[in-house]
Amino acid sequence: MPDFSIPFITQLVILFEIFASWALLTKKYRRNAFWLWTLFHVYSVVLVGFHYPVRCIVMLWILFLPLLYPQAFSKEYERKPKVLNLATTLLAAFLFGMQMLPFLYSEDARSTLRFEGYGYNMFDANFQCIAKLQVNPLRGPPEAHSYVNQNSRFRCNPRSFLEKAHQRCEASPGSRVSLEVTKSINGAPFYRIVDLPDACGVQFSLFGENEWILSNTATLIGYPAKNAMTGTLSQDPISHSIVLAAPSIHLSEVQQFIQNNLNVFKIFYLLIWFGVFGWTVSRLWYVDFRNR
């Protein structure tokens, strides 16, 4: 995919997600939207791996396959309006609640990834990170471990690195294990979001405060090099030269225009979303009223 086409394709993806989502609720366009969404998620495996697309495809098929191909399902699954309405309402409320959880906290959810896996939103796709662990035993020299990741699919969750530190703590009782995590998101600068002199006594809290994750007060460390879609955690950040003293990734004129007018684009797409939402709901009510 040529670099110049990326801003245009991403805008088309946003429009597709707005229209195709509501099209699933209309009888006329449901079948086309269903298979377009299926193809979309199958292709996204190339970019984001299996975890997110598999969850979405399973949910998509459970909800809409019975409506598209009722003859393939037993009569036991025939539509029962009251039960279906209650189940649908509860499911919608649950999914909405999961989506809104990150907004209840003042932290930068992209850095903490506190509720990663609980929702179906995917705002950021490109992560790079460096984690450093140093075991300081009661006797003997310090033991250093470093992890470098340039694979944009890896989410660089601080919790996973804290668990690695705890494993070192358990393997060497009485030792002090320091932890540093430096992270870049979507080509932005590297920030040190974790800087713990001793991680052994620190715990991750799903609903409480995690003050050890410096999501809003992180220190700028450097700038990322352009990374790849594949790769694994590796050793020695110096040899990879992924932390640079000055920016090496520059936006195109179109990308710079979008970034400078980001709020305008947000409002524009929000208005389109509400417009499609209003049209879909009014259409569904009209069809329901006509069929009575």
199-222 pLDDT, tens digit per residue, is: 998 999 888 888 899 877 888 988
Per-residue pLDDT at 134 exceeds 70: yes
Whether the per-residue pLDDT at 143 is higher than 70: the answer is yes
The confidence score (pLDDT) of residue 48 equals: 72
- Domains of the chain by residue range: 3-79+261-290, 124-249
Three-state SS sequence of 221-262: EEEECCCECCCCCECCHHHHCCEECCCCCCCCHHHHHHHHCH
Burial label for 228, CB within 10 Å (0-12, 13-18, 19+), is: exposed
What pLDDT score was predicted for residue 105?
80
Query: Strand, coil or helix: what is 202?
Result: coil
| pLDDT classification of 269: cutoffs 50, 70, 90 | very high
Closest among 216, 212, 108 to 165, alpha carbons compared: 212
Q: Please check the confidence at residue 97 and state whether its pLDDT lies above 70.
A: yes
Please report, for residues 137, 141, 146, 148, 219, the alpha-carbon distance to residue 237 in angstroms, rounded to integers and kept in the order given. 24, 22, 8, 6, 18
Lowest mean per-residue pLDDT among 6-15, 31-40, 80-89, 234-243: 234-243
Q: What is the mean pLDDT of the chain?
A: 81
Which tens digits make up the pLDDT trace of 63-76? Answer: 888 888 877 766 65
For 108-125, write each residue's pLDDT tens digit: 777 788 877 676 655 566
Higher pLDDT, 149 or 40: 40
End-to-end CA distance of the chain: 50
DSSP sequence for 140-199: S--EEEEEEE-BTT----HHHHHHHHHHHHHHSTT-EEEEEEEEEETTPPEEEEEEES--
pLDDT band at 238 (very low <50, low <70, confident <90, very high): very low
The total number of residues written for the chain in this structure: 292
Residue corresponding to tokens 């189940």: 87
Beta-carbon contacts of residue 138 (< 8 Å; ≥ 6 apart)? 174, 175
